[in-house]
Amino acid sequence: MMKEHRELLDAGHESFVFWGRGRLPETQNEMKFCTDNEVKFDALQTRLDGKAGFHSHVATKRLLKRLDAIRPDVVHLHNLHGYYLNIEMLFNWLAVNECQVEWTLHDCWAFTGHCAYFSYADCSQWKTQCASSNRCPQLSSYPKTVSKKSCTWNFVWKKRIFNLLPAERLKLIAPSHWLAGLVADSFLSKYPVEVRHNTIDKSVFKPTPSDFRERYGIDDRFMVLGVASPWNDRKGLGDFLELAKNIDPARSVVVLVGLSKKQIEELPKGIIGVARTDSPKELAAIYTAADIFFNPTKEDNYPTVNLEAEACGTPVLTYDVGGCAETIAAKGSRCIKDWRYLLKGEGGD
């Protein structure tokens, strides 16, 4: 998003970018419109009533005031959930302002009554109406809530709100053909969908020699790498734990990047834990040091970690879920059924 914004400015166009969480703005054309305390309050409200995306009234008013002043010709939306935005207020504004809208979907939240993904839970209620016949199986998952009655309400209202714009004014962008196919089966099916695969900066993610192996005592052992943040069962942490139990530590080692301090302290033998790094160059060096990048995610849209690993010269093994198969192209990369594949010569040899 920031790259696109700066390219537009460099080309002489007017461009503005707004977000609700994270870093502070650097120029007058950028705005973080939600405070950290407002995010926390939205999260608390959502935990109690389950209505993710229907709070943050004051923060959203702040955003809309800026949009009124700018009067944009084109609005490009990205991830609208995360406790910082009121989707009803935003789409009501978009409906009465004659701007073209593009919306890049990063997950499935836009067309469900609660969750961002449903493959792992094996739920298909989003195709008709969430929680209309069976209780939502993911109330304890993000966006976590104690409310048992919010899913149907969310589904009905999101369906109405996200269909306010005519089809000629809203185009949906999906990073994967997998997600585009789900959109076609959802209540957003009236809108055109274009598949635009995510890209990475190959000037950064490239073979990058380093002393990573020496620093961590890996030496010439076969290194299986995993990268995620946060690490949980959905990202395949359990599969790495099982893999570590079954490999010969004298020949092979598992390295996981992005673990919390507590997770690192609790790791079993056979796994080297590395905290999350915000340095792309450091991450490129770690990818390069690995023999195999293993991504055992249980559900994902279009994981760029696979692209990054391949760009650094490391083949990728992943599961055929979501858009994962669309991300691999290098020699040696493939989709596998489970972690036991890596036990074949401890690397698939």
218/191 same-domain check: no
The pLDDT-based confidence of 7 (bands split at 50, 70, 90) is confident
Q: Residue 301 sits in a domain of what CATH number?
A: 3.40.50.2000
160/262 same-domain check: no
Question: In this predicted model, what pLDDT tens digit does every residue of 176-227 receive, in sequence order?
Answer: 999 999 999 999 999 999 999 999 999 999 999 999 999 999 999 999 999 9
The pLDDT-based confidence of 151 (bands split at 50, 70, 90) is very high
CB atoms within 10 A of CB 180: 18
157/129 same-domain check: yes
Asked whether residue 296 is domain-assigned, the answer is yes
- Spatial separation of the C-alpha atoms in residues 104 and 19, rounded to whole Å: 14
150/217 same-domain check: no
Asked whether residue 203 is domain-assigned, the answer is no
Question: In this predicted model, what pLDDT tens digit does every residue of 254-283 receive, in sequence order?
Answer: 999 999 999 999 999 889 999 999 999 999
Compute the average pLDDT of residues 221-234: 96
Q: Determine the pLDDT at residue 349.
A: 41
CA distances from 212 to 53, 191, 209, 217, 249 (A): 42, 48, 9, 9, 18
Segments forming the whole domain that contains residue 241:
212-343
Count the alpha carbons within 13 Å of 295 in the hemisphere toward its beta carbon. Answer: 34
**Average pLDDT along the chain:** 96
Global confidence as pTM:
0.92
Q: What is the DSSP letter of 110?
A: G
Q: Residue 46 sits in a domain of what CATH number?
A: 3.40.50
